[in-house]
A and B are shown apart, each in its own frame.
Chain A
């Protein structure tokens, strides 16, 4: 009998080991630390500062979008609010993330994409809160067209208008009907005058762009949104383009950021970053694997994107630099990106005090040993912070020194 109970114990402990192995395998297989809706389980986190300095976060965790705020630079958060009662089939593409803007009135506008069918056709959903993030309006499609949309970007204009742009495949329908070949997708846009509750009819900014990368969005001045996107140039070259709107409803000319000559029939899932300083300098950072250059690059423009400086390579090429992000602030321009040495991921930062003409030496500002979200930058009007979600170490908001 003693022998049997020993065996039983053995069997039980083996059982536990297998259960643990399965659990750890499951956790290992996920890009999130856990399956619940809490911030620590998030795979993607997007920050926004309100004008009163409150930090707002929107994140993807447990198949939901949640929102919470912090009055102490991310040390503690309000009780998170989920924007939908039901679980959502959220877009898990590497460049997909919820978008959040907070208006001067305190109203919060959100947009994000879901997969609405088994063919991975997307839909961009929008909602807003007018009670300080306690509740959100019922989710609404950002456009009535039901073909496929992904990668929404939201920006707040000076008059409180919410400007939205996204990747939209509606133009493949007439092409198919007419037997024409249709490449890529269109960049569409729409504005909301009611803080993101409803959007005007969507319009085309540029057709036949790359269909699988995030957009960069900033403003050159009041009513002048600027988009940077991976375009499809002749012969399927997926290099970057920039467009400055004449006004919020009139798209401008498509101009080329750089001639990288990346001809590829594939999805890079690695979109650009754009920031515009108060003096009007455009700062763009991007990834390419073209014939002309490979890796991460930065360039600046003083003439609204008509011409750009020579691309400046970022990071150590032997450490797989990825996910560049650039942001201008009152104390200079900051750039971050990730590097990976096979075990450890590092966020590197550098700072410019002369509108990107010269940069400080890159310095490592954060590390993690497991998977992580893209590094993002955010400014509260005084300080620029790194906003970074990591699986092993949770969410971080780190002030970045001016490097001088």
Chain B
């Protein structure tokens, strides 16, 4: 009986640990509600949110620059969201992030076929162009950069946050 119970318990725990939502690449699935969840988790901290995708040409050039920027600024929270349409490609995405030095960033992957709704939660006016960077100040103020971001602009913004928090 005890053994049977243990077996069932084992079954239950392994089921609970089953990757019901987590893609095997270790990237967090970005679904309905994830945007607010992410914002809450970083509230009060300067946060750089970058939307990118494995099929996006300009993203390939920008990722390594962002990887270096993250390394240079440990005080900044860096959130990377792969916003390709599904079928999104977790392994290809993971590979590109590792190569760009962004493997340790907070990495999300669009995992909802209803991308219009995901984008609407983030910004109702956004139609899915990537790359896209959203700089979120500790007071919640959002600065959006459409297309590739210039690193000096990011430096400037981060400096403003430091000045504001003094």
Contacts and interface: CB of A to CB of B under 8 A. Distances in A.
A320 B129 contact: no
Contacts of A318: 124
Nearest to B60: A119
Interface stretch (A132-140, A259-267, A356-364): A259-267
Interface string B127-161: 11111100000000000001110000000000000
Contacts, number: 114
A29 B86 contact: yes
B92 A266 contact: no
Given A4-B1, A30-B86, A267 B57 contact: yes
Q: Tell me the interface secondary structure of chain B in the complex.
A: loop
Interface in B110-135: 111-117, 120-121, 124-125, 127-132
Interface residues of A, number: 45
Contacts of B130: 266-267
A120 B55 contact: yes
A266 B129 contact: yes
Given A92-B87, A340-B116, A340-B120, A287 B127 contact: yes
Contacts of A7: 4-5, 8
B15 A14 contact: yes
A134 B96 CA distance: 43
A317 to B, nearest CB: 8
Given A266-B58, A267-B57, A340-B116, A18 B15 contact: yes
A94 B85 contact: yes
Given A4-B5, A25-B21, A30-B86, A266 B127 contact: no
Residue of B55, B92, B130, B132 with highest tally of chain A CB at under 10 A: B55
B15 A371 contact: no
B55 A270 contact: no
A122 to B, nearest CB: 10
Contacts of B56: 266-267
Contacts of B58: 265-267
Contact of B113 (A29, A211, A269, A343): A29
B127 A371 contact: no
Given A30-B87, A266-B56, A320-B120, A289 B127 contact: yes
Interface in B1-53: 1, 4-5, 8, 11-12, 15, 18, 20-21, 29, 31
A233 B125 CA distance: 24
A18 B147 contact: no
A11 B9 CA distance: 8
Nearest to B4: A4
Contacts of A32: 113
A28 B112 CA distance: 6
B148 A11 contact: no
A342 interface: yes
A11 B147 contact: no
Nearest to A345: B116
Contacts of A345: 116
Contacts of B15: 14-15, 18
B127 A322 contact: yes
A320 B113 contact: no
B57 A11 contact: no
B103 to A, nearest CB: 19
Contacts of A147: none
A29 B112 contact: yes
A264 B147 contact: yes
A21 interface: yes
A270 B85 CA distance: 13
A43 to B, nearest CB: 9
A300 interface: no
Interface string A262-298: 0111111110000000000000000101000010000
A391 interface: yes
A29 B58 CA distance: 26
Nearest to B114: A371
B114 A11 contact: no
Nearest 3 Cβ contacts at the A-B interface: A31-B113, A264-B147, A265-B147
Interface of A: 4, 7-8, 10-11, 14-15, 18, 21-22, 25, 27-32, 92-94, 118, 120, 211, 263-270, 287, 289, 294, 317-318, 320, 322, 340, 342-343, 345, 370-371, 391
Interface of B: 1, 4-5, 8, 11-12, 15, 18, 20-21, 29, 31, 54-58, 85-87, 92, 111-117, 120-121, 124-125, 127-132, 146-148
27 contacts: A7-B5, A15-B11, A15-B15, A18-B18, A22-B18, A29-B111, A30-B86, A31-B85, A31-B115, A92-B85, A93-B85, A118-B92, A120-B54, A266-B129, A266-B131, A267-B55, A267-B130, A269-B129, A270-B128, A287-B127, A317-B125, A320-B116, A320-B127, A342-B124, A371-B114, A371-B115, A391-B113
